[in-house]
Amino acid sequence: DIQMTQSPSTLSASVGDRVTITCRASQSISSWLAWYQQKPGKAPKLLIYKASSLESGVPSRFSGSGSGTEFTLTISSLQPDDFATYYCQQYRAFGQGTKVEIK
């Protein structure tokens, strides 16, 4: 089975910072990777699919890149609404999550 590993587990940042989260797959998954944002008490929300495609309605400050086994989610300028936990996912496997906290 494919395993997904995210880093870091926790990230402290300030409003306006550029933030990057990494996700690694245990074997090549081409570009079949999605990113989600989850806030406390809420369901996850799809941000990025197929590694780099922005879901409709998602702000353009979010972007995704990568292929094969290494992927990144970048928030170009962190906004107050972006403090949340982010997960990568390849069909049956989710990463363990990255919590973005206020510095």
Partner 1 sequence: QLQLQESGPGLVKPSETLSLTCTVSGGSISSSSYYWGWIRQPPGKGLEWIGSIYYSGSTYYNPSLKSRVTISVDTSKNQFSLKLSSVTAADTAVYYCARYGVAHDAFDIWGQGTMVTVSS
Count of residues for the chain?
103
The least distance separating partner 1 from the CB of residue 91, rounded to whole angstroms, comes to: 7
Residue number, 10 or 77, with CB nearest to partner 1: 10
**Closer by beta carbon to partner 1, 17 or else 22:** 22
Distance CA 70, CA 58 (A): 22
CB of 43 to partner 1, least distance (A): 4
**Pairing label, strands 34-38, 45-49:** antiparallel
The residue ranges that bind partner 1 (CB under 8 A) are 1, 32, 34, 36, 38, 42-46, 49-50, 53, 55, 87, 89, 91-97
Asked if residues 7 and 50 have their Cβ atoms less than 8 Å apart, the reply is no
Contact indicator for 94, 87 with CB cutoff of 8 Å: yes
The smaller minimum CB distance to partner 1, of residues 19 and 47, is found at 47
Residue type, 67: S
Contact in structure between 97 and 37 (CB atoms under 8 Å)? no
Residue closer to partner 1 by CB (options 17, 52) is 52
In whole angstroms, the minimum distance from the beta carbon of 89 to partner 1 comes to 7
CB of 32 to partner 1, least distance (A): 5
Token pair of 95 as six digits: 């990463």
